[in-house]
Structure 1
Amino acid sequence: MPGDLVPTADAAKAIGVDRRTLQRWVAEGRVNPTLTTVGGHHRWDVEDLKRQLKERS
């Protein structure tokens, strides 16, 4: 896994929301993680996540 990808909790903290909020946004299709592991865990490029949110506003 590339070193600049972070787990959901860290990505959520970086954008100022709760981890569960970010998980809900994924389920609703509002944002897409950079990578989903074989075990179903999301990994995020925080800058890409911020770009996705900016484009949706």
Structure 2
Amino acid sequence: MSLTSGELARQLGVSHSAILKWAREGLITPEWTTPGGHHRWDADKVRRELRDQRQRDPE
């Protein structure tokens, strides 16, 4: 199931702006983007991308 950016933000417990920032920075990749420029997300894939990013760049 594809989620909107707002739905993804709620599932991850972050702000909508965080999702958009991470997408602009290339940390997460949308499943697809609508003709109007709205992203749709696979939450499991995004969680993997964020986990992989944390493993590459530990704080």
**Could you say whether these structures have the same fold, taking a TM-score greater than 0.5 normalized by the shorter chain as the test?**
yes
1:35 matched to which residue of 2?
32
1:46 matched to which residue of 2?
43
5+ residue gaps, structure 2: 55-59
Instruction: Compare CA radii of gyration and give the structure with the larger one.
Output: 2
More strand by share: 1
CA distance in 1, matches of 2:22, 2:11: 15
5+ residue gaps, structure 1: none
Count of aligned pairs between the two proteins? 54
**TM-score normalised by structure 2 residue count:** 0.86
Give 3-state SS (helix, strand or coil) of 2:40's partner. Answer: strand
